[in-house]
Amino acid sequence: MSIHKMWLLKVKEYQHQLKVQGIHLELPPPSLSELQLEYLEIIPGKKLAAKIPFQKRFTNPIGLYQGGFMAACLDEVFGPLSYITADRPCMTLSMNVTYLKAFHEKMGFCKIEGFVLQKTKSFIFMRAEVLSPEGELMCHAESHVSILRDDQLTKVNT
């Protein structure tokens, strides 16, 4: 079984555990299937890597992958990485993306590698790199998330 399929099964377990606690989340989120990310490597609390296929429907007027969709792909790495690091839902406080090279159709796909830089009691600091099929750095991002407390979860779900 692929890492991606194992992760989707684990996500369903998380969803069930949260539902028992009265927390209703849609896992995996619809955005995962829309963006067609495939998780390649998962090291809880440390790293999550994914593959992104080029999709023409997400291009800008000159035919390059639109930056906002790349940011969404990065968030599909930061979100699960923060969740498995905190072992509970988190909320993005900030995400800063720097674009260096374009993602174009001839590439076919690119890879995102996300890393936990530091975890505190309340926050997680992460970094991710988007790499071409040849391993060239195309983009990098930093994200800071807040680890949600139980009382914050009930507010999120009402």
Give the mean pLDDT of the chain: 91
Counting every residue written for the chain, the total comes to: 158
Q: What is the rounded CA–CA span in Å between residue 30 and residue 128? A: 22
For the chain, what are the domain ranges?
3-156
Q: How high is the pLDDT of residue 155?
A: 53
Percent of the chain with pLDDT over 90: 69
Q: In the chain, at which residue ranges do the beta strands (DSSP E only) sit?
A: 38-43, 47-53, 90-99, 109-119, 123-131, 137-147
Mean per-residue pLDDT, 86-100: 95
Query: Using one digit for the tens of pLDDT, what is the confidence trace for 24-34?
Result: 777 778 888 89
Strand partners, 124: 119, 145
Residue 12 banded pLDDT, cuts 50, 70, 90: confident
Instruction: Please give the average per-residue pLDDT across 75-89, as a whole number.
Output: 93
* Pair of tokens at residue 26: 């849609």
pLDDT digits (tens, 9 = 90+) for 99-144: 999 999 999 999 999 999 999 999 999 999 999 999 999 999 999 9
* Homologous superfamily assigned to 3-156: Hotdog Thioesterase (3.10.129.10)
pLDDT at 158 over 60: no
User: What is the value of pTM for the model shown?
Assistant: 0.89
132: closest CA among 55, 51, 34? Answer: 51
